[in-house]
Amino acid sequence: MAVVDRVAQNAGPSTDRPSASRPLVARLQGISIVVALVGLAALFSLPTLWLVLISFKKEVEWVSYPIVILPSSAEVYNYYFAVTMFPYLRYFWNSVVLSTTYTALVVLSSAAAGFGFARHPGAPGRGPLFGLVMGMMMVPWLVTVVPQYIVFSKLGLLNSYWPWVLWGISGSPFHIFLFRQFFAGIPRDLDDAAEVDGCGRFRLFWQIYLPNSLPAVAASSIFAFTWVWGDWLFPKLFLHDQITTLAVKLQTAYVDPYNQPLVTITMAGVVLYVLPMVLVFFVAQRLIIQGVVTTGMKG
């Protein structure tokens, strides 16, 4: 017995050492992950930081060699010239109107289609139609540029906002899939209780499902608004100069009397252009993440 007790005493401390070191190992792993994430965030933020730095430089500092990293003094007047060298607010308003119109239409139409796919499993042709929607997500959008231009030209819809209205009414495959996945996660008992109270299908969608899908609506709205707000190709092809968006106008708006681009003022205009989307993302990022995550909870 004495030998057994002695062995147990000798074995006791050795079994406690790994368990005592586990919190330290977990803490080191957590610190290393945080450091790696901070490093990646700093790396991905370098282009944005460089953009902001250029917007505060003088034009001479931008073209100087060797490269000047920090401006000698903050040229705040670059931002003043950015909004006064051309009708900045008018083109800004064009972008707001076009983005808002498309976003409202595509969210409503996609939500309605997603509701149909999620809550009407017995509808004829539901499976093939949803497969077609999923297949359309794999078609590169650049493939459709020329056919759409020809169609809108034949219909006389160029140099107007009608292409974006029609795109919004027809819905988006990605947004339809997003809403379908979100609605599929809502208990079916809600439908039964609403039908008992005499609620029709449209009222069920409009007054129950849509108000309770705020995360999906927020995610869909941000994605749709961002696409139109940052798009350059379609406004360049489909709109003339007077009704085009700010993204297109920024390309040629800032030039000197010799028609040379003023890079620092252009960068100031770009900062003002992207600032609203950055603010919206930081305000609504929780809803965006929640909407994207919850769409994958039901198959």
CATH number, position 171: 1.10.3720.10
Look at residue 124 and tell me if it is in a domain. Answer: yes
Average pLDDT over residues 173-177: 92
- Residues 84 and 50 both lie in one domain: no
- Residues 117 and 23 both lie in one domain: no
132, containing H or E segment: helix 126-136
Look at residue 70 and tell me if it is in a domain. Answer: no
Domain interval for residue 33: 2-55
Look at residue 93 and tell me if it is in a domain. Answer: yes
Look at residue 188 and tell me if it is in a domain. Answer: yes
Q: Is 123 left (phi over 0), alpha (psi -120 to 50) or beta?
A: beta
The total of structural domains in the chain comes to 2
> Pick the residue with more confidence: 5 or 67?
67
What lies within 8 Å, CB to CB, of 226 at 6+ separation is 277
Per-residue pLDDT, 92: 93
- Residues 273 and 136 both lie in one domain: yes
- Residues 40 and 147 both lie in one domain: no
Please state whether the predicted TM-score (pTM) of the whole model is above 0.85. no
204 falls in which pLDDT band (50, 70, 90)?
A: confident
Per-residue pLDDT, 295: 54
- Residues 50 and 135 both lie in one domain: no
Per-residue pLDDT, 216: 87
What lies within 8 Å, CB to CB, of 52 at 6+ separation is 267, 271
Mean pLDDT of the chain: 84
- Residues 84 and 184 both lie in one domain: yes
